[in-house]
Amino acid sequence: MTRINSHYQKLQAGYLFPEIGRRVREFSAQNPDAKIIRLGIGDVVLPLPESIRSAIKKAVDEMADPKTFRGYGPEQGYEFLRQAIADNDYGTRKVSVSADEIFVSDGSKCDCGNIQEIFSLDSKIAVVDPVYPVYVDTNVMAGRSGHIAPSGHYEGIIYMPSTAENQFKPDFPKEHADLIYLCSPNNPTGTVLTHEDLKGWVEYARKSGSIILFDAAYHDFITDSSLPHSIFEIDGAREVAIEFRSFSKNAGFTGTRCAFTVVPKELKALNDKGEKVSVHALWNRRQSTKFNGVSYPVQRGAEAAYSPQGKKETQEMIRYYLNNAQIIREGLASIGLEVYGGVDAPYVWLKTPGDLGSWDFFDLLLKEANIVGTPGAGFGPGGEGYFRLSSFAFKENVEEAITRIKQQLKVKN
């Protein structure tokens, strides 16, 4: 009989967010009157801005006319969008990234998950713990790990503890890592790496011959002008880093789907003969073979996010969510909870009260306050004892959630 990829059987039960969804659906079915507030998965609630909607509609109309209709687009993305990204996301910050180093895609989750395919199966990977689970799971699927140990860590993967003691900024790996996943602003802890931090990582990667896979999906939530938005703001990063960005959270595209990955032309890795090979060329080859690009109307919508009106509208959305994050942070801090993140990031990371396990706190909030959050343990063993609340919700729901949490925790004490 046909055999499966048995590495999949090393994975823990289900992917985090569907597992949360399953528990919430079960609770909802048993408690149909419960008014559940969802601050779990980071899914946007504000509608697509007017500038983006009209660009998409206009593009759909073009598709209705044989003279302007478009079939397959370039697998790497249309030039108009790649150039708009290069000019606006990088050019304005004096960062050198050219349009042909940008690969437009349907999501950063996909790109962060797919990128490992172009590297050797015996590459050692290093991740921060807690971590966005996609980095780990996709490497487990590919066979770069052993089984999960009783500690909750996969054998063969290097975990870099990210704790309150180190301000959620992990030390460099203790052993050589070929691929190092970093995320800033961080999902889940909300920590943002400074220029100095990133400089340290770039120097480390250059010395150790590692590649940094830098997830900057939340960079638009940075308000402190001293903080870097891109790893390419650091000298020397172009030889050692790949960057992932998304329109999901800053422009409301979680359902519309558009993102991009920057692979600099200078980035090289070794082939079996020890020769240096272009990573850009490999990613291009991979995308051209396995991906047919993002739809034309969606790419026009993404382009509109860079128009003057689009910038104004997306900035308003970001401010709205950051204001929610502030409500969560301040509300929880006012009842003595230890809170982190939520300033230059849309996620608030909190220590569970009374040393509750993070899934126990999840159950408590769901059952007693009808609030959905994300248990820290879902992001790896280092997240145990922590909990993540997302600011991607309507303000009135966030306010109501904080009132309920306050009441619940007072009742408990």
How would DSSP label each residue in 373-405? -EEGGGG-GGGTTEEEEE--S-HHHHHHHHHHH
Q: Report the alpha-carbon distance of residue 373 to residue 322 in Å, rounded.
A: 17
CB of 18 to ligand MLT, least distance (A): 11
> Cβ closer to ligand MLT: 173 or 185?
185
CB of 397 to ligand MLT, least distance (A): 16
> Cβ closer to ligand MLT: 13 or 29?
13
Contact between 324 and ligand MLT by CB under 6 A: the answer reads: no
Q: Report the alpha-carbon distance of residue 100 to residue 370 in Å, rounded.
A: 47
CB of 177 to ligand MLT, least distance (A): 23
> Cβ closer to ligand MLT: 124 or 245?
245
Find the part of the chain contacting ligand MLT (CB under 6 A) among 41-49, 51-59, 305-313, 330-338: 41-49
CB of 47 to ligand MLT, least distance (A): 18
> Cβ closer to ligand MLT: 352 or 374?
374
CB of 311 to ligand MLT, least distance (A): 22
Is residue 16 a contact partner of residue 362, using CB atoms and an 8 Å limit? no
Find the part of the chain contacting ligand MLT (CB under 6 A) among 36-44, 138-146, 173-181, 257-265: 36-44
Rounding to the nearest 10 degrees, give the CA dihedral for residues 41, 231, 224, 391.
0
- Determine the size of the site formed for ligand MLT (CB under 6 A): 5
Contact between 41 and ligand MLT by CB under 6 A: the answer reads: yes
> Mask: binding to ligand MLT, 134-173, rule CB under 6 A, as x and -?
----------------------------------------
316 CB-contact burial (10 Å; exposed 0-12 / middle 13-18 / buried 19+): exposed
> Cβ closer to ligand MLT: 19 or 43?
43
Residues ≥6 apart with Cβ < 8 Å to 183: 128, 131, 132, 214, 215, 216, 217, 218
> Mask: binding to ligand MLT, 195-224, rule CB under 6 A, as x and -?
------------------------------
Q: Segment 169-198, which members bind ligand MLT (CB under 6 A)?
A: 187
CB of 43 to ligand MLT, least distance (A): 6
How would DSSP label each residue in 207-275? HHT-EEEEE-TTGGG---TTS-S-GGGSTTGGGTEEEEEESTTTSS-TTT--EEEE--TT-EEE-TTS-
> Cβ closer to ligand MLT: 95 or 112?
112
> Cβ closer to ligand MLT: 34 or 41?
41
Tell me how far apart the terminal alpha carbons of the chain are, to the nearest angstrom: 58
> Cβ closer to ligand MLT: 42 or 331?
42
Phi, psi of 264 (to 5 degrees): -65, 150
Helix (H), strand (E), coil (C) string for 29-93: HHCCCCCCEECCCCCCCCCCCHHHHHHHHHHHHHHCCCCCCCCCCCCCCCHHHHHHHHHHHHHHH
CB of 180 to ligand MLT, least distance (A): 20
Using alpha carbons, list the distances in angstroms from residue 57 to 83, 84, 254, 305, 378. 21, 19, 18, 14, 39
Contact between 42 and ligand MLT by CB under 6 A: the answer reads: yes
Find the part of the chain contacting ligand MLT (CB under 6 A) among 37-45, 80-88, 170-178, 230-238: 37-45
Find the part of the chain contacting ligand MLT (CB under 6 A) among 18-26, 35-43, 225-233, 359-367: 35-43
Task: Determine the residue with CB nearest ligand MLT.
Answer: 42
> Mask: binding to ligand MLT, 66-105, rule CB under 6 A, as x and -?
----------------------------------------
Residues ≥6 apart with Cβ < 8 Å to 358: 352, 375, 376, 377, 378, 383, 384, 385, 386, 387
Q: Tokens at residue 21, please?
A: 């969804």
> Cβ closer to ligand MLT: 55 or 242?
242
Is residue 345 a contact partner of residue 185, using CB atoms and an 8 Å limit? yes
Binding site for ligand MLT (CB under 6 A): 41-43, 109, 187
